[in-house]
Structure 1
Amino acid sequence: MSAETFKYLCLGFYVLATLWLSWVGMRKTRDIRGFAIGNRDMNPYLVGITMAASIASTATFVINPGFVYVHGFSAFIHFAVAGGTGIIAALLVLTRRFRSLGDAAGAITIPDWIYRRYHSRPLSLFFALINLLSLAFVVLILVGCSLLMAQLFSIDQNIALIAIALFVFSYVLMGGTYAHAYTNSLQGVMMLAVSLAIFVSGWHYFDGDIGGSLQRIGRNFASWKNPDSELYFDFFSVFGSGFLITFALMLQPHILTKMLYLKGDGDVSRFIGTAAFATVCFMLMLAVGFYARLSGLEVERQDAVVASYIAAEYSGSGADAYFLAFVGITLLAAGMSTLDGILVALSAMVVRDIYQPLSGDRESESRRGLLLSRAVLLGIGVLAVIIAYDPPPLVGIFAQKGVYGLGAASLVPLLFGIVWREPAPAWLVGSAAVIGLCGHLAFTYIGGIANPAVSAAYAILASLAYFLAGAGILQIGERFARRGGKSTPDSTGDEFSP
């Protein structure tokens, strides 16, 4: 069998397996609740793999190694060490409490959870609207996957873009969350195998001396902070912002809602362990940026570093050609593993948290809601393809500007809604969310901060400071009121206690 035939067989197997798993998922999807979070009957190991695959996606496997290629060790620390620490910290802090609160309230989306926690429809609607910023990440994934497919099958990138969009949207339309989870388990196993294989196969470029090899490229390239870089030049831009924004990004709907898939608290430890292990393995793909640079590969377009490296590294005959085919299909799967989760979350939110409250349509809990969510999915797909057809020059930065704004707005309402026993006033968390979003945009477009992680981290700190100051003032006011023999409605004395 020729390598070319093997490549098409791999693609055919992946497509057929994905469609079959989607069909299995469709048989379990009867209403919008099943479409959004399933029926809480999934294995925790499967959910853990699904979570890790959703976190990694095209950003880790295709786009972010390009930042390592350009900026060096500082970018690796930013994404792998700071980002990985933020992911694991968020899993440990958020999972158990968020799952139990969401289970008790019956929430199926993040804005729905916000509404049930803070009893504020305007706050819930605000979050549903700003979560549309996730569209920027959909564009990133479509562009990254189309670059890979065009390289792998020698076709026009725009044709590859349309083919990928049609495939992903078709299987998500079928099965919703079950399609997403079942296909992600397949994609996650493929991603684990490829990330470990590529990491090990390229290790020889370090020649037994990692520091010395990187020093030969440049002293600043090998440094944990790179003075030549406008993105990663000091401790905060390298580590502080990376940790803060990654922790905040764990609050995205397509990630946080995975915790609602679990049956009970007994599944939490297995879920966290699986997700953390897989995430660490996936981060090894960032080393491709080093390997491409050490191999002497010249790549004009930063977003194309991974596609160019695997094409150059495994373009020979024999086993390499077969491995190249498997790697290419797996990298496509890595993008789809997050894309399908975002699409499910967005379409469910538009119906549950925008259409239903504004229209007063209570029937959207049933099959009508399922039909509406699928219609919304098609609209999102068309818009994303239009943007991805002529994408910005650095699609990674474009996506970060949008999604990091969502993370900055989400941290205070979700984090403190999870870790505090009683919810803070909706007006306080809502204004903190606005500070987070507007602060990120102001630091980016007015302040001229080049690294979206830094601008988002500054906005997060400002949002946190405002919220904690406001909560402290309210608590002091309640104490004075109690001492004066007065009481405020529903005051418990520990409203802001962790």
Structure 2
Amino acid sequence: MNQLSPGLTMVALAVFVLLMIGMVLKSRTTADNLKSYAVGSLSFSPLMVALALASSLTSAATFIINPGFISLYGMGAYLAFGVVMPLAIFIALVFLMKRFRKYGVNVGSLSIADWVGKRFDSSFLQKLFGALSILLIAFIVLICVGITKVISKAIDVQELYVLIGLVIVVFTYIMFGGANSLVYTNSAQAVVMVIVAGILLYSGAHTIFSGGGEDLFSQLKGIDPQLVEPFNKTSPLFRDFFEVVVCNAVIGIAIVCQPHILTKSLMLKKDSEVNRFLLYSILLLILFFSVVFVGFYARAYFPDLMFEGELLQMDGIIPAFVIARFPGYISLLLIIGLIAAGLSTLEGLIQSLPTSLTNDLFLPLTGKDSEHSSAMKINRVITVCIAVVVVFLSYQQLVSPNLSVAIFAQNGVYAFFSAAFVPVFFGIFTKTKNKIIPTVGTLTALLVYYSVYYLELTPYMQDVSPKNPAIASALSLMCSFAVASVIFFYDRIAAGKKVVSKPQTLGSN
């Protein structure tokens, strides 16, 4: 095993962070207002925005956390996170992004909550989704835990100190940057991620078809036959077709409803650039989502999941694999890439979450708008408060995770986009102005999600730990969509009857 120098790693990390800060300072706009901070004021090429979107969609979850699921549970986890969910995301991007942009550009939306409120002319919905955006803190926690695991193992420093330093540095430079800065930093991070994805995937390619009974899947079958089965009946998350395929297909479509995803389309200045942007995005995402396959390599490398005499936690499998498997200089590059993968989404969430809380909750409650002079001050105070909460929650997940920080994160993020799906879907694909449809749809989604998860409804949620948030999310999405559809068609039928029953005006004889 090649030892990676902690000192050299710290120097490399410092240089990387300084480059990110330099990009932020160079691209920062002089207009210190919330709109410029939220959606930017510069013109970006389709490729740059595609790099930013691809890096935002594939974070530490894709490069660090999800491969750990594959290492533990095998083919079922790979089909869920490497095949079904990506395909659903591609479909959703194509169908949702254009329609969202069309309305978002016309009304000048700064966030999902802002978009929903303006689309249905409902201040209640805007405030509701502004409040619900707090759930996205769970995803920030996931990324901070993933990056902390990588850095701590590489430089041999206690996780708490790494976590605090990470939060202070990243929250600070994003707080003073904004959307323009995000596109530059995300694009640079995506380029590093492309290189790292290539190295990781190539590193074990020779084992896939090596033959002689020693190929990758023969090794995995020898470790545990369940690792090569499409459904892992011994796992708590990938037991059958419904969990692996149905749930992840539904979630993949809904996941695009996150604010730091759909609002990327608003950074393009011309409609003619959208198709190229989507093509570039999907090609990049195919590469990035393929990285979860590295979980198979890691399990073959650590058949008993032991590293330096200790049993690996799921979230630590990929950081350990990178350090143990590769020469020092390659490990250093891969560590930078894994950190970049996390930062790409972390930056977007740090920028979008306080923006939504400010614009969609606090400003409306105080009777002010995004142009008010106090908007950015409020935004920065909220950002600092979120940073403190993130440190506390992340440390809890580092010390005592429930299998993985991913379960904690999914329980927040899945609830959010389950609630957001009906308003976004009906807002994009119908012309209805009926506020009851998105309101009832959202409240139904929240009620079903938390009832299924915490009351352990359905056999999937009983006598299992951890419980699968994907089950609660898929069922809540289905129920909320069904309820909203009933109201929508009843509304249409009622409107049709009114038209038919309206007395006809006859011309005079």
When normalised by structure 1's length, the TM-score is 0.93
- 1:75-100 CA distance string (max 9 Å, x none): 00101111111211111001111111
Cα distance in 1 for residues equivalent to 2:315 and 2:240:
24
Cα distance in 2 for residues equivalent to 1:127 and 1:486:
42
Paired residues of 2:82 and 2:293 also in contact (CA < 8 A): no
3-state DSSP class of the match of 1:459?
helix
> Cα offset for 1:28?
4.6
Unaligned runs of 5+ residues in structure 2 are 462-466, 505-509
- What's the counterpart of residue 494 of structure 1? none
Paired residues of 1:62 and 1:331 also in contact (CA < 8 A): yes
CA 1:238 to 1:424, structure 2 compared with 1: closer, same or farther past 3 Å? farther
Q: 1:170 aligns with which of 169, 172, 178?
A: 172
> Cα offset for 1:210?
4.9
Does structure 1 residue 442 correspond to structure 2 residue 451? yes
- What's the counterpart of residue 200 of structure 1? 202
- 1:343-364 CA distance string (max 9 Å, x none): 11111111111111111124x4
Paired residues of 2:51 and 2:190 also in contact (CA < 8 A): yes
Cα distance in 2 for residues equivalent to 1:118 and 1:80:
36
Cα distance in 2 for residues equivalent to 1:470 and 1:122:
19
Query: How many percent identity over aligned positions?
Result: 30
- What's the counterpart of residue 320 of structure 2? 308
Does structure 1 residue 96 correspond to structure 2 residue 105? no
- What's the counterpart of residue 360 of structure 1? 367
- 1:7-64 CA distance string (max 9 Å, x none): 3442232112101111022235531111001025111111111111111111111111
Does structure 1 residue 220 correspond to structure 2 residue 226? yes
Q: 1:429 aligns with which of 424, 438, 443?
A: 438
Give the root-mean-square deviation of aligned CA atoms. Answer: 1.7
- What's the counterpart of residue 341 of structure 1? 348
- 1:114-152 CA distance string (max 9 Å, x none): 111000101111111111100011111111111111001
3-state DSSP class of the match of 1:447?
coil
- What's the counterpart of residue 492 of structure 1? none
> Cα offset for 1:331?
0.9
Cα distance in 1 for residues equivalent to 2:85 and 2:452:
21
- What's the counterpart of residue 464 of structure 2? none
- What's the counterpart of residue 407 of structure 2? 397
Does structure 1 residue 455 correspond to structure 2 residue 480? no
Q: 1:232 aligns with which of 229, 234, 238?
A: 238
> Cα offset for 1:214?
3.4
Q: Which amino acid aligns with 2:318?
A: V
CA 1:486 to 1:339, structure 2 compared with 1: closer, same or farther past 3 Å? farther
- What's the counterpart of residue 472 of structure 1? 489
Paired residues of 2:233 and 2:239 also in contact (CA < 8 A): yes
Q: Which amino acid aligns with 1:415?
A: F
Q: Which amino acid aligns with 1:312?
A: A
Q: Which amino acid aligns with 2:231?
A: K
Cα distance in 1 for residues equivalent to 2:427 and 2:88:
19
Paired residues of 1:24 and 1:175 also in contact (CA < 8 A): no
454-463 or 474-483: bigger deviation: 474-483
- What's the counterpart of residue 502 of structure 2? 485
> Cα offset for 1:185?
0.7
Does structure 1 residue 293 correspond to structure 2 residue 302? no
Paired residues of 1:10 and 1:326 also in contact (CA < 8 A): no
Paired residues of 1:59 and 1:141 also in contact (CA < 8 A): yes
Alignment of 1:46-125 (within 5 A): 46-125=48-127
> Cα offset for 1:3?
6.0
- What's the counterpart of residue 273 of structure 1? 279
When normalised by structure 2's length, the TM-score is 0.91
> Cα offset for 1:477?
1.5
Does structure 1 residue 258 correspond to structure 2 residue 264? yes
Paired residues of 2:29 and 2:36 also in contact (CA < 8 A): no
> Cα offset for 1:112?
0.9
Alignment of 1:144-155 (within 5 A): 144-155=146-157
Q: Which amino acid aligns with 1:307?
A: P
Does structure 1 residue 20 correspond to structure 2 residue 15? no
3-state DSSP class of the match of 2:109?
coil
Q: Which amino acid aligns with 2:233?
A: P
> Cα offset for 1:219?
2.9
> Cα offset for 1:336?
1.1
> Cα offset for 1:212?
3.3
Cα distance in 2 for residues equivalent to 1:371 and 1:24:
22
Cα distance in 1 for residues equivalent to 2:456 and 2:356:
32
Cα distance in 1 for residues equivalent to 2:93 and 2:121:
26
Q: 1:327 aligns with which of 331, 334, 355?
A: 334
Q: Which amino acid aligns with 1:481?
A: K
Q: Which amino acid aligns with 1:65?
A: P
Does structure 1 residue 409 correspond to structure 2 residue 419? yes
- 1:406-432 CA distance string (max 9 Å, x none): 111111100121122x13411221111
Paired residues of 2:29 and 2:41 also in contact (CA < 8 A): no
- What's the counterpart of residue 350 of structure 1? 357
CA 1:249 to 1:29, structure 2 compared with 1: closer, same or farther past 3 Å? farther
- 1:445-477 CA distance string (max 9 Å, x none): 112522111210111011111111111112112
Paired residues of 2:4 and 2:154 also in contact (CA < 8 A): no
